[in-house]
Structures are given as structure tokens and as C-alpha cells.
């Protein structure tokens, strides 16, 4: 077989140029689809319909149209969120002197403040203006600012028909309460006071017994369940002539001593142990010198101690 000669494989300059152009053309045709593909995709995506309007339309079909809200809602329709209880409160016109429990809850008034308001009213108090509600213990100041515009307290009229103090005929009948001696008062006498029932009267008598008698009528306010407003209301009916049963500090036992409201268990135990070590406690200064008691604590308990 005859081998091809190298002369037959030789290409001229024109042939080499043509072959180069042919190869370049093939490369261009191969690369064009890759170079133009991103633009084609962007064009296709831009021609698609927008999703947001479609979603809005689908939601619009399944939901009711939003109700138009008035610029200034009427009191019965105005609802706010109570920052303390996280409950929605409803604002409406009300008279605090004739407020029931259900309405107070809607207004956001706490049960504690409502109970204190009722005690204040039963004791003969009256809310004449918004500032009077600040006197009620437990009333939230921020809530009161929201309630101010909705307070509607009927104005009383005189016999002549003019605004002023109520006439005698318009006043409700109230039983006259005579002041009494608190160290001799019975359970029935305590219950005759406004805001004092069976439980409170029993607590007062028990507290007086534990003390050994009242020195001042203000001590009645120390009884659990008597708040500041109730204390103020009943104070005018109380008289006090001290009649004390004193503690014999040098012979009393621990059980009797720690019952006293002005001594706790640690203080009572200290007195008993100190007395055992020193046989007798001479006076209040000796207890003060131990450094175990504060001066105001000893001054409070002093009238009830007998060092004989």
C-alpha cells in the first residue's frame, strides 16, 4: 500500500484562513445559546402575571370587607386593653355611687378596688367628683385617667330646684350610731359599724385579747381586713380608755409571750433565754442594751410589759 506523501497534506495560506474562519463560526454557534439563556429566562419571568394581586383577590373572596371605623367611637363601642390585666375593657358612662360588680369588671376596675369602693360607700362616703376615686385604695391611677370623661354623677338639687346640697327628704334613712368604748365593746356593737360584719368583729375582739387591751383607737386599724378607708369611716365612732392586761415578763412562758402581736417567735424566745441566763430582767433599758431589739419595737411593746 502506498503511503501518502507529506506534500499532499500541505495547506495553502488561503486554505488555512478558511479553515480558521470555519472553526470560529462553529464556536460562535455553539456558545450563542449559553450566552443568551439568562436573558430568555428573564423575559419569560417578566411575562408571568404578578402573584400579589392574585393572593389579595383570593383572600378578598374568603373574607368580609373591613368595616369602616368612625372617627370618634361612641362610649359603648370604645374598647381598650388594660395594661395590668391584659383584658379588653369597655368604656361607657357610669355613676361610681351606683356601680355593680359586673359593670366594674367591664371598666377594668380590679375586684380589690371595687370592694374598697363598696366599703367606702357603705361607711357613708360618697363620690362627688373623679378626684374622690383616688382615695379608694387599689384604684389604678392610669385607668382612672381613662375613666374620668365617662363619670356621670347626678347633681343634687335643693328644695328651690337649684343645684346644691341634697334636701333632707332626699337623704336615705341611716341609723344613728353612738360612739362606744372599744375595750368594753361587744361583738354586736362592733357589727353596728358600717363595713364591720361577723368576721371582722370576731377578729377585733381576738386582737384585743392578744394585745391585752387597746391603748389607742388607731390600733383597731391594725386588724387584718380593715383598710385605710374603712378605718377612717369608723374612727369617729370609737372611744378609748386604756385598760390593759400586762405581761409579767419575769414569769411568763414562751407560748404566752409569742401570742402577743408585737412580738414574733424569735423575739419571744430571746427574752425567755435571756431571763434564764440572768434570772431576772430589770427594765426596758436592759433589753435595749442587748442590741437584739430596735428602739421603736421596744417602745411599742413597753406599755404591755410588767417587770415586777
**Domain definitions of the chain by residue range:** 75-156, 180-239, 247-306
d(C-alpha 91, C-alpha 111), whole Å: 17
d(C-alpha 11, C-alpha 9), whole Å: 6
Whether 82 and 93 have beta carbons less than 8 Å apart is answered as: no
Neighbours of 30 (CB within 10 A): 9
Question: Which residue stretches of 148-262 are H helix?
Answer: 187-191, 198-211, 228-235, 254-257
What kind of fold does domain 180-239 have according to CATH? DNA polymerase; domain 1 (1.10.150)
d(C-alpha 285, C-alpha 293), whole Å: 11
pLDDT at residue 76, rounded to an integer: 45
pLDDT tens-digit series, residues 158-204: 444 444 444 433 334 455 788 999 999 999 999 999 889 999 999 99
- Which letter does DSSP use for residue 151 in this model? B
Whether 220 and 188 have beta carbons less than 8 Å apart is answered as: no
Q: Give the residue among 92, 229, 97 at the shortest CA–CA distance from 155.
A: 97
Give every residue of the chain whose pLDDT is below 70, as ranges.
Answer: 1-11, 36-87, 155-175
Amino acid at each position: 500500500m502506498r503511503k501518502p506523501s507529506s506534500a499532499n497534506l500541505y495547506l495553502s495560506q488561503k486554505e488555512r484562513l478558511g479553515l480558521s474562519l470555519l472553526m470560529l463560526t462553529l464556536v460562535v454557534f455553539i456558545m450563542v445559546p449559553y450566552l443568551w439563556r439568562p436573558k430568555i429566562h428573564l423575559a419569560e419571568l417578566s411575562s408571568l402575571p404578578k402573584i400579589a394581586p392574585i393572593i389579595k383577590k383570593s383572600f378578598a373572596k374568603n373574607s368580609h370587607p373591613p368595616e369602616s371605623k368612625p372617627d370618634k367611637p361612641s362610649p359603648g363601642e370604645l374598647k381598650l386593653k388594660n395594661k395590668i390585666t391584659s383584658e379588653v375593657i369597655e368604656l361607657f358612662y357610669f355613676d361610681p355611687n351606683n356601680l355593680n360588680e359586673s359593670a366594674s369588671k367591664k371598666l377594668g376596675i380590679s375586684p380589690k378596688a371595687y370592694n374598697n369602693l363598696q366599703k367606702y360607700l357603705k361607711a357613708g362616703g360618697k363620690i362627688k367628683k373623679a378626684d374622690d376615686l383616688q382615695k379608694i385604695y387599689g384604684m389604678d391611677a392610669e385607668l382612672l385617667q381613662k375613666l374620668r370623661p365617662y363619670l356621670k354623677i347626678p347633681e343634687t338639687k335643693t328644695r328651690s330646684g337649684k343645684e346644691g346640697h341634697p334636701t333632707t327628704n332626699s337623704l336615705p334613712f341611716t341609723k344613728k350610731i353612738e360612739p362606744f368604748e372599744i375595750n368594753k365593746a361587744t361583738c354586736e356593737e362592733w357589727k353596728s359599724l358600717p363595713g364591720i360584719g361577723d368576721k371582722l368583729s370576731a377578729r377585733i375582739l381576738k386582737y384585743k385579747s392578744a394585745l391585752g387591751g387597746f391603748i389607742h383607737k388607731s390600733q383597731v386599724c391594725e386588724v387584718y381586713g380593715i383598710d385605710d378607708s374603712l378605718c377612717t369611716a369608723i374612727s369617729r365612732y370609737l372611744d378609748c380608755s386604756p385598760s390593759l392586761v400586762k405581761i409579767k415578763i419575769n414569769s411568763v412562758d414562751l407560748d404566752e409571750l409569742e401570742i402577743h402581736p408585737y412580738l414574733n417567735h424569735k423575739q419571744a424566745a430571746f427574752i425567755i433565754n435571756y431571763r434564764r441566763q440572768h434570772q431576772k430582767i430589770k427594765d426596758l433599758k436592759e433589753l435595749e442594751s442587748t442590741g437584739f431589739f430596735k428602739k421603736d419595737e421596744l417602745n411599742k411593746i413597753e406599755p404591755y410589759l410588767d417587770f415586777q
